[in-house]
A and B are shown apart, each in its own frame.
Chain A
């Protein structure tokens, strides 16, 4: 943590990156992409079912973010409307997925995704 802050401070003193005067579409998309990749990497690397589920949520929201950004960019409300719908569905899906995780946990008394690898070909 200390190292990080020191690095950030140093970079800030060096005036890098250049100070943002205005957020562009590109910025939103980069944030969205970073969020998506974090989610993807987390999904692939972590074995805990709950964490994996959180990672999918992250990827979901990354997509939502880019939708809102495009919506604002094109000055219409289609994307925003769409995201509201998506969030509603996501809420329902989250309830379902967590219930599934609970059931799976009760079966094996573990949250490890490897525990279900008997469903192989």
Chain B
């Protein structure tokens, strides 16, 4: 009710803005359509087709599972029941999504879309005209892009829930239920975000995934660093979300609707202008919208300057890192850009911002990742870096490359995180690559090591046999293919080499080489007894490297416990999936090409000159060049971290460290970005808030205290009157009476009159 005036104001703005813009634009659009009819691929939106309404259950099944997990917590369930509820519900959702895909696929050549109406949500008429209505229903917009995202979101969520059923088993009870409740709620929110047919539902999902991310990062709420990381993630995301909410409002102001199906036809006219590079005829506010969306996308997808929360988010349990902070939630920003791609094309600055933000983030995060020792944190920086790649792909107007990399990255990064999680789980929280070595030689660790290798070659982009290579290649080719973005291409190429190096730095140090391990700081006594480690007693061999005898004694009885069937199964499935993805992104005609092309992300970009890479076609050249770069990175890592390494702690790379001096130190300290933020943002705010606190204390409190103090002071002066002594009261009463009488008598004419009157009688 209180929002009514706001909506009215927005509506009034929309109506005043609309005709002013629409008229010249419409003329221009007509002119353009006449001249370049052949160049258009047709309207952004294809025909509408019908899908059965039960597909609206896809988001609601996880929501129901979340409620059930909450009920389990209330009923104090101590079994793995919540995990099975989660796996079952997510698998059902996944199957429904697969079924949905089979319905969408035949429509893909026409670029069709469907709208599934679940229920009415917001329907608000702000003016006398029926068209002046803000409509945002709980409806789902289904096209090929929706399917692409939902396929890997629900598919990976199912697998990771299965993994988590084992990974979280040390926390059976209330924590287990809480974990899976938040996990399912996350999938519900993500589904709302991806499937929503309007920006309000997208925003709901956007905030929902942010909340679940906060809840799950802070899962170990008794650990101060986890709580701090959760808060940091939440606050950083609020900054981005502020931009997104402004963008949504501005969309409504400019177009009078926030539903994709009504928005896209309106963008068409501006898109026609943009294809002619006549950006000066597109209203400023319309060009501003995608920039505001980018702020939101950079916050959620951890790009410069809002990326610092993602590495800290590794405080959460590893399945959460894999699902939320590597595979799905952080790609929400990429989804937003892809979904709103026609709008991005209408803006002169939005795509360059996206591309440059992504490129700088990719390079910066890769350099930091090279110098870290915590393997999970290396993967986090690698995620930030790869997200930068995806944004670059979109920013250089190659939506296909961006979406393809989201798809392949989701699988191999989830795989990498889950493998790291298995190591963390088995070695009592040990993640330091100087304290782990040669895991492949330990019994029970072969599957983890091999699947980790699969993940690593994908991330490094080993030529021709990995899906990661092809998707990364598409982005590089798009970047070099555009004469304006070749600088970005070079940055990405350097980053590709760094990526290959730091990925295999982890692999060569942790999984191969001499066998050695130290337990981490989460050494639980019950772990040792629960898993009967007598069957692999010989693993603790050949690895005394100057740690005192006391240290060895302390951990002498400790043995790592290798992962169980659930973890191994999930890792193997994911490893297979990364290979299964190759034909989807590599075999012509690309499946991913058709999927992206059939959606809103397939809007034709403005025509630009085709650049060549030293006289070769950019895409073909990249197949060779990026492959060589990746191999070079792997070989350097092989030489520095594997060859001649006899101990776990040191490698040849350590001898090179002094050569790099400040560079190495800077990368190790994450380029002091946290410190800079602390100095530039946190400290001034701290000072400002203390000034405000002082003002509050002196001015506001002073005023209130004075008001409170006055009656008290008055009371203090009057208090002695109530002495409690009866005679005092009597005396004062008599005195008062006397004074009163005196006054009455004086007023009545004095004593004389009274006396004379008395005398007369």
Contact of B725 among A40, A52, A117 (CB under 8 A): A117
- What residues of chain B lie closer than 8 Å to A116, measured between beta carbons? 724, 726
Q: Whole-angstrom distance between the alpha carbons of A40 and B737 in the complex?
A: 12
Check B727 for interface membership: any CB of A closer than 8 A.
Answer: yes
Closest to A47 in B: B727
List residues of A (93-121) whose CB comes within 8 Å of B's CBs. 113-114, 116-121
Contact indicator A26/B726 (Cβ below 8 Å): no
Q: Would A43 and B722 be within 8 Å (CB), given that A24-B761, A26-B758 are in contact?
A: no
Chain B nearest Cβ from A104, distance in angstroms: 11
**Does A14 reach chain B (CB closer than 8 Å)?**
no
In the complex, are the beta carbons of A40 and B734 less than 8 A apart? yes
Question: A117 near B730 (CB under 8 angstroms)?
Answer: no
Residues A66-114 near B (CB distance < 8 A):
73, 113-114
- The answer to whether A121 and B731 touch (CB under 8 A), given A25-B761, A26-B758, A26-B761, is no
Which residues of A lie under 8 Å from residue B726 when comparing CB positions? 52, 113, 116-117
- Give the CA-CA distance A73 to B758 in the complex, in Å: 13
Does A44 reach chain B (CB closer than 8 Å)?
A: yes
Q: How far is the CA of A19 from the CA of B718 in the complex (A)?
A: 53
- The interface residues of chain A, by DSSP majority, are classed as helix
Do A120 and B734 touch across chains, with their CB atoms under 8 A apart?
no
In the complex, whether B541 has a CB less than 8 A from a CB of chain A is no
B727 with A120: CB separation less than 8 A: no
Q: Nearest Cβ distance between residue B515 and chain A, in whole angstroms? A: 85
Residues of A contacting B725 in the complex (Cβ-Cβ under 8 angstroms):
113-114, 117, 120
Whether a CB of chain A sits under 8 angstroms from the CB of B723 is: yes
Query: Which residue from A25, A29, A44, A119 sits with its C-beta under 8 Å from B734?
Result: A44
The CA of A73 and the CA of B761, in the complex, are separated in Å by 10
Whether B730 lies near A121 (C-beta < 8 A) is no
**Contact flags (1/0) for A23-35 with B, using CB distance below 8 Å?**
0111001000000
Evaluate contact between A121 and B719: CB separation under 8 angstroms. yes
Q: Which residues of B contact A119 (CB under 8 A)?
A: 724
**Knowing A44-B730, A44-B731 touch, does A120 contact B758 (C-beta < 8 A)?**
no
Interface digits, A8-49 against B, CB 8 Å rule (1 contact, 0 not)? 000000000000000011100100000000001001110100
How close is B757's CB to chain A, nearest CB, in angstroms? 11
A119-B718 Cα distance, complex, nearest whole Å? 15
Candidates B721, B730, B761; contact of A43 at CB < 8 Å? B730
- A29 contacts which chain B residues (CB < 8 A)? 758
B761: A residues at CB distance < 8 A: 24-26, 73
Residues of A within 8 A of B723 (CB): 117, 120-121
- Measured in the bound complex, the distance between the Cα atoms of B603 and A120 in whole Å is 88
B730 to A120, Cβ gap below 8 A? no
Q: How far is the CA of A114 from the CA of B726 in the complex (A)?
A: 7
With A26-B758, A26-B761, A40-B734 as known contacts, state yes or no: A121 contacts B721, CB within 8 Å. yes
Instruction: Indicate the member of A25, A29, A44, A119 with the most B CB atoms within 10 Å.
Output: A44
Cα A70 to Cα B477 with chains together (Å): 124
A77 to B718, CA, bound (A): 46
Distance A24 CA – B731 CA, assembled complex (angstroms): 32
A118 touches B727 (CB 8 A): no
B721 cross-chain contacts in A, Cβ below 8 A: 121
Chain B positions 671-728 with a Cβ under 8 Å from a chain A Cβ: 718-727
In the bound assembly, the distance between CA atoms of A43 and B726 in angstroms comes to 10
List, in ascending order, chain A residues with CB within 8 A of B731's CB.
44
* Contacts of B441-467 to chain A: CB distance below 8 A: none
What is the chain A residue whose CB lies nearest that of B737? A40
Q: Which residues of B contact A45 (CB under 8 A)?
A: 727
A44 in complex: contacting residue of B724, B727, B759, CB < 8 Å: B727
CA distance A52 to B727 in the complex (A): 10
Contact bitstring B291-325, A, C-beta under 8 A = 1, else 0 = 00000000000000000000000000000000000
Q: Which residues of A contact B758 (CB under 8 A)?
A: 26, 29
User: Cα distance A73–B724 when bound, in Å?
Assistant: 43
* CB-contacts of B747-761 with A (<8 A): 758-759, 761
Tell me which residues across on chain A come within 8 A of B724, comparing CB atoms. 116-121
* Most chain A beta carbons < 10 A, residue from B718, B730, B731, B758: B730
Interface hub of B725, B726, B761 (most chain A Cβ within 10 A) = B726
Which of chain B's residues have a CB closer than 8 A to the CB of A47? 727
Q: How far is the CA of A108 from the CA of B73 in the complex (A)?
A: 63
Q: Which residue on B lies nearest to A73, using beta carbons?
A: B761
Chain B residues whose CB sits within 8 angstroms of the CB of A25 once the complex forms? 761
B720 partner residues in chain A, CB cutoff 8 A: 121
Q: List the A residue with the shortest CB-CB distance to B724.
A: A120
Residues of B contacting A120 in the complex (Cβ-Cβ under 8 angstroms): 722-725
Considering the chains assembled together, what is the distance between the CA atoms of A113 and B731 in angstroms?
14
Q: How far is the CB of B216 from chain A (nearest CB, A)?
A: 60
The distance from the CB of A43 to the nearest CB of chain B, in whole angstroms, is: 5
**Chain B nearest CB: distance from A24 CB in Å?**
7
- Chain B residues with CB below 8 A from A26, complex form: 758-759, 761
A120 shortest CB reach to chain B, Å: 3
Q: From residue B718, how far is it (CB to closest CB) to chain A in Å?
A: 8
B407-459 CB contacts (< 8 Å) to partner A: none
Q: Which residue of B has the minimal Cβ distance to A40? A: B734
CA distance A117 to B727 in the complex (A): 10
Given A24-B761, A26-B761, are A121 and B722 also a contact pair (CB < 8 Å)?
Answer: yes
Please give me the residue from chain B that is nearest to A49 by CB atom: B726
How many Å lie between the Cα of A44 and that of B730 in the bound state? Answer: 6
Q: Which residue of A lies closest to B720 (CB)?
A: A121
A44 CA / B737 CA spacing, docked (Å)? 14
B425 to chain A, nearest CB (A): 71
With a cutoff of 8 Å between Cβ atoms, the chain A residues found around residue B734 in the complex are: 40, 44
Closest Cβ of chain A to B712, distance in Å, is: 13
Q: How far is the CA of A88 from the CA of B560 in the complex (A)?
A: 102
A residues near B722, Cβ cutoff 8 Å: 120-121
A113 to B719, CA, bound (A): 20
Contacts of A40 in B (CB 8 A): 734
- Give, as a whole number of angstroms, the nearest-CB distance from B729 to chain A: 10
Q: How far is the CA of A117 from the CA of B720 in the complex (A)?
A: 12
CB distance from B707 to the nearest CB of A (A): 22
Complex CA–CA separation, A118 to B725 (angstroms): 8
From A24, A73, A113, A121, B727 is in contact (CB under 8 Å) with: A113
The interface residues of chain B lying within 8 Å CB-to-CB of A44 are 727, 730-731, 734
Chain B residues, CB < 8 A from A73 = 761
Looking at the assembled complex, report how far the CB atom of B711 sits from the nearest CB atom of chain A, in whole angstroms: 14
B84 to A: closest C-beta gap in Å: 71
Shortest B720–chain A CB gap in Å is 8
Smallest CB–CB gap between A92 and chain B, Å? 22
Q: Quote the shortest CB–CB distance from B334 to chain A (angstroms).
A: 74
Jot down 12 A-B pairs with beta carbons below 8 A, ordered by A: A26-B761, A29-B758, A40-B734, A44-B727, A44-B730, A44-B731, A45-B727, A47-B727, A113-B725, A120-B722, A121-B721, A121-B722
Report the 5 A-B pairs with minimum CB-CB distance, sorted nearest first: A120-B724, A121-B722, A117-B724, A113-B726, A121-B719
Residues of B participating in the A interface, judged by any CB pair closer than 8 Å:
718-727, 730-731, 734, 758-759, 761
Besides the known contacts A24-B761, A121-B723, A121-B724, 5 further A-B residue pairs in the complex with CB atoms under 8 A apart = A26-B759, A29-B758, A43-B730, A117-B723, A120-B725
